[in-house]
Amino acid sequence: MKFFNVFIGSIILSTTLFSSSTQCQGIYYGNEAPDILNTKLETKTKELCYTSFALMHSGVSRTALWSAEHLTREGLQSKSKRSNDFHPEEQLSSNERSELSDYSRSGYDRGHLSPSADMSTKAAQHECFTLANMVPQNGDNNRGIWADIEGTTRQLTKSKGELYVITGPLFIGSSIQRLKGRVFVPTKIYKAIYDPSSGQGAAYLVNNAAGRDYEVISISELEKMAGIRLFPKMSASAKQTAMDLPVPQEGNSHSSHSNSSNTNKDEDIFRIIEKLFKWMVH
Which among 57, 70, 87, 112 is annotated as catalytic?
A: 112
d(CA 118, CA 267): 23
d(CA 141, CA 188): 11
Chain-centroid distance of CA 81 in Å reads: 20
Position 51, amino acid: T
Tell me, yes or no, if 70 is annotated catalytic. Answer: no
DSSP letters spanning 120-161: -SHHHHHHHTBGGGEEEE-HHHHHTHHHHHHHHHHHHHHHHS
d(CA 128, CA 256): 13
d(CA 218, CA 104): 36
Contact 165, 68 (CB under 8 A): yes
d(CA 27, CA 49): 9
How many other CB atoms are found less than 10 A from the CB of residue 14? 9
List the beta strands (DSSP E) in the chain: 35-36, 45-49, 54-58, 63-72, 109-112, 134-137, 162-170, 178-179, 183-184, 188-195, 200-207, 215-217, 228-229
Contact 97, 54 (CB under 8 A): no
Catalytic amino acids? 112
